[in-house]
Chains A and B, each alone.
Chain A
């Protein structure tokens, strides 16, 4: 056995070799919060890697948030008010029900020096529409028949049928790619080394590790204040938290409400909060054979759930109560009736419907960790309903399974779901209250008819009125127990100027160091 030290030595050598392979030559100062040297760089902690860096392909929020620093949209929402603001498009109008014309900004350059123009817009939309590219956005764009280049800075989008929510699609989905570059290097390379007109240029992408970007000097809105931007991927929340406390990352999102105090108590750290456009609700599933097909039972549940108490005791007050299907930030929002908390009325309504509360057992499905305190909220709702005698069996699902159960109409009586970013009434109402929509939990013939009459309306006033009526009907029909707009909570380095956006985006261009 003289060989065993040799074996050991060999293993140590292997270790050293392995350790010297990748990444060691690069940066070494990743630990420690040296706030002096990082005045021009920002590290954002992220839960997952981007799926791809090519625009217009992956619907995932994680991908979108990162690449929006590289690519610009044509139009966006104001970070605070949610109103439409021009970006690469200066003006837009619809000429008739099937035609939209957009006037584009001149003098905008891509990172590789190419000019932004109408061709880039046509290319980017065609990229979504081309089946070969397998864009997961295509489902939202199939009604677009053609994109016409009218002049170098004018495009016309022709739709196959009226498409009143096209502007929303442009805002939420479309990012502008450089046609010359993609054609030259191919989509595979463009997906790893992206070129856009955005505030940051691509530097390096180490899969499951980090994405490094640098300020684009010729950015049309002016050079960004923060020179170096890095997204660092840390899947586990506790690890993200430690990385923030140790100064390795400066900013990260989705702080659980029970960790807020720890961050606020930490040195050189603050919490930023905004009422998100993402809403959480308890669906009262009418697809499931059972008592919830009776409107009186659904109304009873609205009276029996005390949303204020849930907000206060489970969410520590982080959230904005809703009473109807739309949040205040939504363009179609109107104030609707608040059922309030009235257990006696709940019992009376159940009895009217022919049920003794004590004999009623309902199921409640919830994801775990997808929305703030979701499974805790479910438990709290169960105990509130227990107070009027109704037994609730809470079922906690893995996220993918939860979605699948909704789609396959395998859900029981109630389920918790979130929806967002929800800015326009159509997306919420059409997708959550119709018979065929995958994530719907409610169907009523008369309401569905009204929905389809409203979504095709072009006149803004008529459209608004239509959605107003629908909101009231849905509250009257007690399709949900509406819960709240989520509070988006961010952990922020003390001297970083950062105001969270209602649309969950993280635009480093809007941030700076004090």
Chain B
């Protein structure tokens, strides 16, 4: 088991390292940021001077080496714009993003599991058809569009909910709904098909034949078995939700890490972008790491492989 954990942990490091490397070189393709920060009338020598001051005139590979050495020590440099520590800025936004992602996850589960179970049980009825239809819509609708429509209806037209901003539960409602839409659809479909598989099993038929009432049949015999794969999906989707929050955060002016990344990318505030990518990659990898360990713990076959 320990062997397995160490191996998986090394993978986490490799994933984070690769993510940082790829993003480091990708953002450099967009050029160096010096000129976006200086006034437009700054003369050439001044631009050169700042480039040197910020270190962007050195060969790319040297910059990369320096960056990695500092990054290992947790130093991602200072924000070019506010001159504050980049990693602290990013970390200060993590709670807001988590808040959104977790509430979206909870909401998805609360809607998706009952819906999936019911539509599997009432397979091929009108209810099932509508539920499946909705999941297709849920997966197909782009979140920025859904967000804007929700804002338009609830904030601009009926004026019952704020259009955005951070803070209270009321502020969370629309962004949570928007972010949850995709996961609701995914979880519902998954629950439904997993449930259908279980319902085909012999022991269900036997239970049915021996007169177990339908509610008990589903809750006690079918649901708990069909939930096992859902748990893996939940772990994976939390990562997706954290990443998916970028668009939602921008549309709803939610002060989280996604919006910070978006803004920093536009501003070419590279240290913040890299610190942000580091945190997101780390969270994603760690969540998967934990899911794997748990899974291995539950199912020894995986460890042996």
Q: Which residues of A contact B (CB under 8 A)?
A: 1-2, 4, 8, 11-12, 14-15, 18-19, 21-24, 26-28, 30-33, 48-49, 51-52, 57-60, 131, 134, 136-140, 142, 188, 191, 206-210, 232-236, 238-239, 241-243, 245-248, 398-401, 403-404, 407, 419, 427, 430-431, 436-439
B186 to chain A, nearest CB (A): 17
User: Shortest beta-carbon distance, A231 to chain B, in Å?
Assistant: 12
Are A139's CB and B148's CB within 8 A?
Answer: no
Least Cβ–Cβ distance between A420 and chain B, in angstroms = 9
Q: Contact: A209 with B166, CB < 8 Å?
A: yes
Q: Chain B at the A interface: mostly helix, strand, loop or mixed?
A: helix
Find chain B residues with CB under 8 A from A52 CB. Answer: 81-83
B156 touching A51, Cβ below 8 Å:
no
B44 touches A208 (CB 8 A): no
Q: Which residues, 201 to 248 on B, are CB-close (under 8 Å) to A?
A: 223-225, 227-228
Report the separation of the CA atoms of residues A64 and B93 in the bound assembly, to the nearest whole angstrom: 24
**Taking the nearest CB of chain B, how far is it from the CB of A341, in angstroms?**
30
CB closest residue in chain B, given A241: B156
Q: How far is the CB of B87 from chain A (nearest CB, A)?
A: 15
| With known contacts A22-B95, A208-B259, A234–B164 Cβ distance under 8 A | yes
B15 in the interface (beta carbon within 8 A) = no
CB distance from B201 to the nearest CB of A (A): 15
Q: Is B167 an interface residue (CB 8 A)?
A: yes
Q: Is the CB of A19 within 8 A of B41?
A: no
Q: Which of A1, A140, A401 contacts B223 (CB 8 A)?
A: A1
Q: Give min CB distance, A479 to chain B, whole Å.
A: 17
List chain B residues, Cβ under 8 A from A19: 99, 103, 168-169, 172
Across the interface, which residues of A come within 8 angstroms of B252, CB to CB?
A: 239
Q: Are A403 and B36 in contact, with the CB atoms below 8 A?
A: yes
Q: Is B251 an interface residue (CB 8 A)?
A: yes
Asked if A235 and B171 make an inter-chain contact with CB atoms under 8 angstroms apart, the answer reads: no
Q: Tell me the number of A-to-B contacts counted with CB atoms below 8 Å.
A: 204
Residues A1 and B81 in contact, CB atoms below 8 Å apart? no
* B-chain residues with CB within 8 Å of residue A436 when the two chains form the complex: 43-44
Query: A427 and B41: CB pair below 8 A?
Result: yes
Asked if B224 and A431 sit within 8 Å, CB to CB, the answer is no
Bound-state CA distance A400–B270 (Å) is 13
Q: Does B31 contact A (CB under 8 A)?
A: yes
Minimal beta-carbon separation of A32 from chain B (angstroms): 5
Stretch at the interface among B18-26, B260-268, B281-289: B260-268
Given A15-B102, A31-B159, A235-B263: A24 touches B169 (CB 8 Å cut-off): yes
List chain B residues, Cβ under 8 A from A14: 102, 106
Across the interface, name the chain B residue whose C-beta is closest to A137: B39
A206 touches B155 (CB 8 A): no
Q: Are A401 and B31 in contact (CB under 8 A)?
A: yes
Closest residue of A by beta carbon distance from B159: A246
B183 contacts the other chain (CB 8 A): no
Whether the Cβ atoms of A234 and B263 lie closer than 8 Å is no
**Which residue of A134, A139, A206, A208 is within 8 Å of B83 (Cβ)?**
A134
Task: Give me the 4 closest cross-chain CB pairs, A-B, nearest first.
Answer: A1-B224, A23-B167, A139-B46, A51-B81
Least CB distance from A52 to B in Å reads 4
Asked if B151 is an interface residue, CB under 8 A from chain A, the answer is: yes
Q: Is the CB of A239 within 8 A of B99?
A: no
Question: Which chain B positions have C-beta within 8 A of A400?
Answer: 30-31, 33, 36, 266, 268
- Smallest distance from the beta carbon of B5 to chain A beta carbons, Å? 23
Q: Smallest Cβ distance from B246 to chain A, in angstroms? A: 11
Residues of B within 8 A of A23 (CB): 166-168, 171
Bound: A67/B47 CA distance, A: 25
B179 CB–A CB distance under 8 Å: no
Query: Contacts A11-B102, A239-B151 known; A207 to B255 CB distance under 8 Å?
Result: yes
Q: How far is the CA of A245 from the CA of B152 in the complex (A)?
A: 9
B159 engages A33 (CB within 8 Å): yes
Question: What total of chain B residues lie within 8 Å of the partner, measured CB to CB?
Answer: 70
Q: Across the interface, do B148 and A438 meet the contact criterion of CB distance under 8 Å? A: no
Nearest chain A residue, comparing its CB with the CB of B161: A31
Q: Does B170 contact A (CB under 8 A)?
A: yes
The answer for the CA separation of A191 and B83 in the assembled complex, in Å, is 10
Interchain CB contact under 8 A, B31 and A136: no
Instruction: Give Cα A234 to B103, complex, Å.
Output: 22
- Known A-B contacts A51-B82, A208-B259, A242-B156; A404 and B151 likewise in contact (beta carbons under 8 Å): no
* A48, B39: Cβ atoms closer than 8 Å: no
From residue A163, how far is it (CB to closest CB) to chain B in Å? 14
- Chain B residues whose C-beta falls within 8 Å of the C-beta of A48 in the assembled complex: 263
Which residues of chain A come closer than 8 Å to B163, judged between CB atoms?
234, 239, 242-243, 246, 248
B273, CB-defined interface residue at 8 Å: no
Given A18-B102, A31-B161, output 8 extra A-B contacts at Cβ < 8 Å: A1-B223, A2-B224, A30-B162, A30-B170, A139-B39, A140-B42, A242-B148, A431-B40
Contact yes or no, B41 A22, CB < 8 A: no
Q: State in angstroms the CA–CA spacing of A496 and B42 once bound together.
A: 38
Instruction: Give A139 to B171 CA distance when docked, in angstroms.
Output: 43
A-B residue pairs in contact (CB < 8 Å), sample of 16: A4-B224, A15-B106, A18-B102, A24-B167, A30-B162, A208-B255, A209-B166, A233-B253, A234-B253, A239-B163, A239-B164, A242-B151, A246-B163, A404-B35, A438-B47, A439-B40
Given the known A-B contacts A32-B159, A238-B148, A246-B163, are A140 and B172 also in contact in the complex, defined by CB atoms under 8 Å?
no
CA distance A49 to B170 in the complex (A): 22
Q: Which chain A residues border B98 with CB–CB below 8 Å?
A: 18
The residues of A that contact B106 with a CB separation of less than 8 Å are 8, 11-12, 14-15
- B46 x A236 contact (CB < 8 A): no
Q: Which residues of A contact B42 (CB under 8 A)?
A: 139-140, 438
Contact of A235 among B44, B53, B168, B253 (CB under 8 A): B253
Question: Is residue B4 within 8 Å, beta carbon to beta carbon, of the partner chain?
Answer: no
Q: Give Cα distance in the complex from A243 to B151, angstroms.
A: 9
- Known contacts A15-B106, A208-B255: does B40 contact A238 (CB below 8 Å)? no
Bound-state CA distance A238–B167 (Å) is 21
What sequence of 0s and 1s flags, for each residue 143-178 of chain B, a beta carbon within 8 Å of any chain A beta carbon? Answer: 000001001100110011111111111111000000
Question: What CA separation (Å) do A235 and B251 show in the bound complex?
Answer: 7
Question: Which residues of chain B are near A2, meaning CB under 8 Å?
Answer: 224
Collect the chain B residues with CB atoms within 8 Å of residue A437's CB. 41, 43-44
A419 to B41, CA, bound (A): 10
**Minimum CB–CB distance for A241 against chain B, Å:** 8
Contact, CB under 8 Å: B156 / A246 = yes
Q: Which of A59, A235, A236, A439 has a CB less than 8 Å from the CB of B37?
A: A59
Task: Give chain A nearest CB distance to B203 CB in angstroms.
Answer: 15
In the complex with contacts A52-B81, A137-B39, A207-B167 CB distance below 8 A: no
